[in-house]
Amino acid sequence: MLKEKLSEMPTWRRNLFVLWFGVFMTGIGFSEVMPFLSLYVDTLGNFTKDQLTLYSGITFSITFLMTAIISPFWGKLADSKGRKLMLLRASLGMAVVFFLMGAAQNIWQLIFFRALQGLFGGFISNANAMIATQTPKEKAGYALGTLVTGVTGGQLLGPFIGGILASIVSYRLSFIITGIIFLLVFVLVLTLVKEEFTPVARGESLSRKEVFKQLKHPQLTISLFLTTFIIQIVNQSISPIVALFVRELNHGAVGTTFWAGVVAAMPGIATMLAAPRFGQLGDRIGTHRIMLIGFTLAFSFMLPTGFVTAVWQLAILRFMIGISDATMLPAVQTLLTKTTPTQVTSRIFAYNQSFQSLGSVAGPAMGTVVAMFFDYRGIFIASAMLIVVNAGLFFYRTNSLKNDDSLNL
């Protein structure tokens, strides 16, 4: 019955339906291991606190480092081979890798498997590229906005599911379950997604320099890449040690994994609830003002997080940080979509994915170094300072373009 209804839909709408579910499950798959990843690392050796912090940071960030390196290659390959093939590669590759992570016997094996995860990544960026290029222009905003809710929804539920799973079953079985999720995504894409694709002929693929020549406002695009990069640094700076910080606030009491899942899920909950409303507000008052609101909220809530004394305080402030993300992340995606020609969409989305992944590398690295010198609380104070820097860079780069009505700044 469901398959018959899907076959009656226009191709772009059917693809959106399937890929929404795909990115939703991908969001769950990636985020559900976050509440217990550092605790899993702790089971693979007898580490001191500084060693545990360092290895947790490496284990978390190595995935994103490899994604940053490989994303432009996958984006270029998608232009010549098609996005569906890239979606199949990513989902099947990650399924295998998660099975391997559940079988890791020491920290170095786990780090290696996390690196492989980064190499096989790119599902969400290719889903965005497929929807952006195959949806009618008048429906593009709606389609991309819908896809964002799938990612956010998955990231929202993931930590809850991961925290509950790890409390009921072992950490290793949680990785196996995640691998099964990615296998399901692979089957759905293989059987239901249809791509109307015209490959770029051999020798006609644009160089990086030629890609940027296609852009009307390349400086704005680079500015948006940098904004994405710093937002991701701030968001991910605490990710490798969130469970360890919760354990410290919880004074070693039971339920650490569950509460770590709650804290990790708070930004996603807030973003999912607030993003549509801020999107509508941005249409009325302009993206530039929405970004100003976002930066102000992010600083106002990040700084006091460094002084929390209880888990519930941490959860509330992380929720508020999610509200600030709801203003900034959709605005960046919208501006990239509006200013990117269709023929280079995959490449620009891939470059943005690289900057996002680099932020996911730099964030844990910064958090690890700061925590080793100033304990976990210093991470939030350093992140607040970065928010100020990001706001300054964004408004400096975009101020001269505010009068261009086509950008809707």
The domains found in the chain, sorted by start residue, are: 11-192+208-400 (1.20.1250.20)
Is the pLDDT at 259 greater than 90, yes or no?
A: no
- State mean pLDDT over 313-334: 81
Q: Once rounded to an integer, what is the mean pLDDT over residues 348-369?
A: 79
Mean pLDDT lowest among 200-209, 213-222, 277-286, 378-387: 200-209
Give the rounded percent of residues in the chain with a pLDDT score beyond 70.
Answer: 84
Q: Report pLDDT digits (tens) over 260-283.
A: 777 877 887 787 777 667 766 766
- List Cα–Cα distances, 359 to 116, 297, 356, 363, in angstroms: 18, 20, 5, 6
Residue 369, pLDDT above cutoff 70: yes
- On average, the pLDDT of the chain sits at 78
pLDDT category of residue 125 using cuts at 50, 70 and 90: confident
| Residues 282 and 332 sit within 8 Å (Cβ to Cβ) | no
Query: Other CB atoms closer than 10 Å to residue 6's CB: what's the count?
Result: 14
| Residue with more model confidence, 392 or 150 | 392
DSSP 229-284: HHHHHHHHTTGGGHHHHHHHHTTT-TTHHHHHHHHHHHHHHHHHHHHHHHHHHHHH
Q: What pLDDT does 16 receive?
A: 83
Structure confidence at residue 203 (pLDDT): 53
pLDDT band at 254 (very low <50, low <70, confident <90, very high): low
SS (H, E, C) 73-101: HHHHHHHHHCHHHHHHHHHHHHHHHHHHH
What integer pLDDT is reported at residue 150 of this predicted model?
Answer: 77
Instruction: Name 219's Cβ contacts closer than 8 Å, sequence gap at least 6.
Output: 397
What is the band of 96 on the pLDDT scale with cuts at 50, 70, 90?
very high
Decide if pLDDT at 403 tops 70.
no
Q: How far apart are CA 290 and CA 296, in angstroms?
A: 10
Indicate the range of 38-52, 88-102, 115-129, 239-253 predicted with least confidence. Answer: 239-253
Res. 185: pLDDT tops 80: yes
Helices (H), 32-170: 34-42, 49-81, 83-101, 107-119, 123-134, 140-168
pLDDT surpassing 70 at residue 252: no
What average pLDDT does the segment 161-165 reach? 77
Q: Which two tokens stand for residue 384?
A: 């607040």
CA distance 369 to 65: 17
